[in-house]
Structure 1
Amino acid sequence: MFRTPLTNGFLRTASAAAHLRLFVLVGVVTVLVTRAFLALTDYPKLGGGAGKGGLHISHTLWGGLLMLAGLLVMLVFTGTASRRRGAVAGGVGFGLFIDEVGKLVATDGYFYRPAPGIIYLTFVALTGLAWRVTRTGCADRAVPSGATRAASAADTALQGILCGLTPQERSEALRRLRATGEPATEVDAALVALLEAVPERPAPRPDPYHAAARRAYAWLVTQVSGTRGLVHVVACGTTLQAGVLLVAVTCEGLTGGLAGETQWTAIAGALASSLASLVLAVRGTALLRRDPGAALRTLRAALLVDLLLGQVFKFTINQFSGVADWLISLALLYVLSLQVTHRQATRPQAPVSPTALTAR
C-alpha cells in the first residue's frame, strides 16, 4: 500500500489547471464588463443615492455572495461539473469584489488611480499560479506517483458513477492508472474493476459550429507558426510599443503636460520597464539574422517585462484605457510563442554517434 506523507492529504484534481484558468478568465471579463457598463451608465448607485442615510448596495457585496455560492457548490456537490460551475460563479464574484479594491485601500474610493494597477497585478499573480499548477500537473502526469494516479482514476470513476463514462474517458483513466508500469496494488485492482463496471455514456455528437471553429483555429495557428516573416512584425511591434511610451512621456514633460501629475512613482516605473523592454527588443531584432533562437528568447523576455511589470504602471497611469495596449502585448506574445513552438518542433535531431551507441 502506498503512502503520501509529502502531500498531507492534498492531491490536485486532473482538471485543477483548467478550472484555475477558467476562474481567472471569468474574473478578468467580469472586471472589464463591469467597468464598461458603469462608464456607459454614468455610474449608477443601486439602492438610491449616496447622501446622508441613503442606501447604496455596492457590487462588492454581490461579489462576496457569488464567491460564497461558488464555494458552497464545490463543498456540497462532487464531480467535475460542480468544480466548473464553482469556478465560473467564483470568478464572477471575485471580479466584482476586486473591481472595488479602491474603496478598500484608499479614501479616494472607486476612482483611486492605482486601483487598475492593483487589479491587474492580482490577476497576474493568479495567472502565475495557474501556470505553476499546469507545469506541476504535467510533471505529475509524466512520472505519476502511486497516490496521484490512483486519486486521478478514482476521480474519473466517481464522475462515471454520476453520469457514465465515454469509451475514450474510460480508456484514458485506465491508461493513467497503469502509466508507471509498477506492480498493481489492491487499490489499483479495485479501481480497474470500478472503472470497468461504471455505465457507459455515448460520446457526445460533435457540434458542427464547434468543429468548424476548431478547424479555423488550427488553420490560423498553422499559418501563424509557419510564417517566419511574422517574427519581424513582432519585433517591430515590441520595439514600437516600448518606444512610444518613452517618446510620449518625454513630449508631455517638455510641453508641460505633466505639471499636474501625481503618480510619479508609476511614471518612473513605466519608464524603467519600457526602457528595459526597448533594450531587449532592439537586441532581439539585431539577433534575428545571426541567431534566430536567441532572438526569439530575447523578444519574449521584452514582452514579458512589459506584461508582468510595465502594464502594472501603465494601468495606474492610463486607467482602463490601457486595455488596448495590454491586448496588443498579449497578441504579440502569442504569435511569438507559436513561432518558438514551431521552431522547436521542426528542429532537426542531432545524429547519434556510433560511440554513444556502443556505450549504451
Structure 2
Amino acid sequence: MIKSPWEGKLARNMYAGSILEIFIVTAVTTVLTIRFFLGATGYPQVSGGGFHIAHVLIGGLAMLISILILLTFLGSYSKSLAAVLGGFGFGAFIDELGKFITSDNNYFFQPTIGLIYIAFVLLFVLIKKISSRSYLTEKERQVNLLEISKEAVLKGDEAYGIQMARSILKRSAAQKACLKGSNETTGCLDEIPDLPSLLSPEPKVYAAAKTRAESLYSWMIGRRWFIQFLIAFFLLNSLISLIEVIYLTIGIQNAVFWAIFALASLGVYRAIVSGTSTMKKIVYILILMILALILPFTILGLTLPSLPLADWLRLGFTALAGSFSVAGILTIRKDRLKAYHLFENSMLIYIFFVHVFDFFDIQLYELFDLFVDLVTLMGLRYMINQEERKESVIGNQINKV
C-alpha cells in the first residue's frame, strides 16, 4: 500500500469547516464593507509627503497577526480569532485586485468585483472539499479525539469534552484501531477525571451572555410561534429574492406571476404529501399546469425572454437557493437540525452565487441584502451548534443507560 508523503506529518481538523467558514464569511464582509465605506466617503486616501498607504498593507498586517496567533497559542479560540483576522486581511488584500491586474493600477476596473466573487466561490468549494469529515483517516480521528480532550481541559469543561470524544469514538471505525493499536490514546481519554468545571478562562460578561443566549434559544424552540416565524422568514426571503431577480432580468409582470406560481406550487406539494384524496391531487396538478403553461402565454401575453447566460445562471441559483429553503420549511417540524442545514445551504448559495450577479445592478441595496443573509447564516450556525450539542449529550445518556 502506497502511503501519502504527508502521513504522520499533517492531520486535518474535523471542525475545520466551521473555522474556514468564519474566515471566508469575514473576508466577503470585509470586501463589501470597504467598498461601501469608500463609496460613501468619496474614496479618501491615507497619504502625505509622496506616500500612499493602501489598505492592502493593513490586510497584510492582519494576516501576519493571524499567523503569529496560530504559531503561538493553542485552542479553538485562537483558531477562531486567527480566522477572523485572516479573513479581514485577505478581504482587504483581494479588494485591491484591480490594481494588480491592470497596467494603470486601476482600482475601479469593472470586472474586479466579478473576479473577486469567483475567487471566493472557488475558495468555498475548496474549503468544503478539504474539510469533509468522511475523508478523515483513522489516525486523524484519533488525533482529533485528543484535541477535543485538550480543549476541554483548557476551557474547564472536562465532562462535556469527554462525552464528545467518546461519542465520536463510538461512531467511527477508529474505535477498534484506538483500542488495539494505541492503548495510550484510550487510556488518555479514560484517565481524565470527571470533575466539576474549573474556573472558565472566558470573561464573565462573555460567559454570562453565552449562558443567556443558550437559555433564550432553549426557551424559543419550546414555543410554537418560533417555528412559524422561521417558516415565514425563509419563505418571504425566498419570494423577495425571486421577485427581485426576475424583475431585474425579465420584468415586473413576470416577477409577480412567478411569485404567485411559486406559492401555488408549494400549496400543491403540501396537498400531494398530505392525506388529500387522489382526485383532488389530480385537480391541483392540472390547475398548476394550466397556471404555468397556458395562462402566462395567452391571457397575460408573456413571452419567453432571450437572456444572456449570466442572467439564466442568476435565475437558476436563486431558484436553487429557494428550493433549499422550501425543503427546510417542509422538514422543520420533523427534524430541526436537518432543516437548519437546509436553510444554511440556501444562505450559502445566496451569499456566494446569487449576490455575485446582484451586486452589479443594485450595489448599495445589495450590501444591506447581503448583511441580512450574513446575520442569518451566523444565527443558523449557532442554532446548528446548539442542536448538535444536545444530540451529543442525549446520545451519551442513552449509551450510559
Q: 1:220: Cα distance to partner?
A: 6.3
Assess if the C-alpha contact under 8 Å between 1:70 and 1:85 holds in 2.
yes
Which of 211-220 and 147-156 deviates more? 211-220
Task: Report what 1:43 is aligned to.
Answer: 43
SS at match of 2:14: coil
Task: Report what 2:188 is aligned to.
Answer: 193
The gaps in structure 1 that reach 5 residues or longer are 251-266, 337-360
Correspondence 1:173 to 2:165: yes
In 1, Cα distance between equivalents of 2:236 and 2:152: 48
The gaps in structure 2 that reach 5 residues or longer are 254-306, 332-338, 381-401
Correspondence 1:272 to 2:312: yes
Which of 154-163 and 23-32 deviates more? 154-163
Instruction: Quickly say closer, same or farther: Cα 1:182–1:190, change in 2 above 3 A.
Output: closer
TM-score norm. by structure 1 comes to 0.64
In 1, Cα distance between equivalents of 2:211 and 2:152: 25
- Deviations 1:190-214 (Å, cap 9, x if unpaired)? 4523662489652748944334434
Assess if the C-alpha contact under 8 Å between 2:60 and 2:89 holds in 1.
yes
Aligned equivalent of 1:113, options 110, 115, 127 = 110
- Deviations 1:305-332 (Å, cap 9, x if unpaired)? 7655443233244445532454577799
Assess if the C-alpha contact under 8 Å between 1:47 and 1:55 holds in 2.
yes
Instruction: Quickly say closer, same or farther: Cα 1:275–1:75, change in 2 above 3 A.
Output: closer
Letter aligned with residue 172 of structure 1:
M
Q: Which has the higher contact order (CA 8 A, sep 6+)?
A: 1
Letter aligned with residue 173 of structure 1:
A
Correspondence 1:236 to 2:276: no
In 2, Cα distance between equivalents of 1:283 and 1:112: 35
- Deviations 1:308-357 (Å, cap 9, x if unpaired)? 54432332444455324545777999999xxxxxxxxxxxxxxxxxxxxx
Task: Report what 1:98 is aligned to.
Answer: 94
Instruction: Quickly say closer, same or farther: Cα 1:188–1:228, change in 2 above 3 A.
Output: same
Alpha-carbon RMSD across the aligned residues, in angstroms, is 4.7
Assess if the C-alpha contact under 8 Å between 2:24 and 2:120 holds in 1.
yes
Aligned equivalent of 2:198, options 196, 202, 213 = 202
TM-score norm. by structure 2 comes to 0.58
Q: 1:94: Cα distance to partner?
A: 0.6
In 2, Cα distance between equivalents of 1:329 and 1:197: 42
- Deviations 1:36-63 (Å, cap 9, x if unpaired)? 33334332222327xxxx2101111121
In 1, Cα distance between equivalents of 2:374 and 2:148: 34
Which of 323-332 and 312-321 deviates more? 323-332
Assess if the C-alpha contact under 8 Å between 1:239 and 1:278 holds in 2.
yes
Task: Report what 2:79 is aligned to.
Answer: 83
Q: 1:182: Cα distance to partner?
A: 1.9
Which of 111-120 and 89-98 deviates more? 111-120
In 2, Cα distance between equivalents of 1:148 and 1:318: 46
Aligned equivalent of 2:176, options 178, 182, 189 = 182
Task: Report what 1:153 is aligned to.
Answer: 145
Letter aligned with residue 128 of structure 1:
V
Q: 1:18: Cα distance to partner?
A: 1.8
Letter aligned with residue 113 of structure 1:
Q
Letter aligned with residue 244 of structure 2:
Q
Task: Report what 1:56 is aligned to.
Answer: 52
Assess if the C-alpha contact under 8 Å between 2:98 and 2:105 holds in 1.
yes
Instruction: Quickly say closer, same or farther: Cα 1:268–1:333, change in 2 above 3 A.
Output: farther
SS at match of 1:111: coil
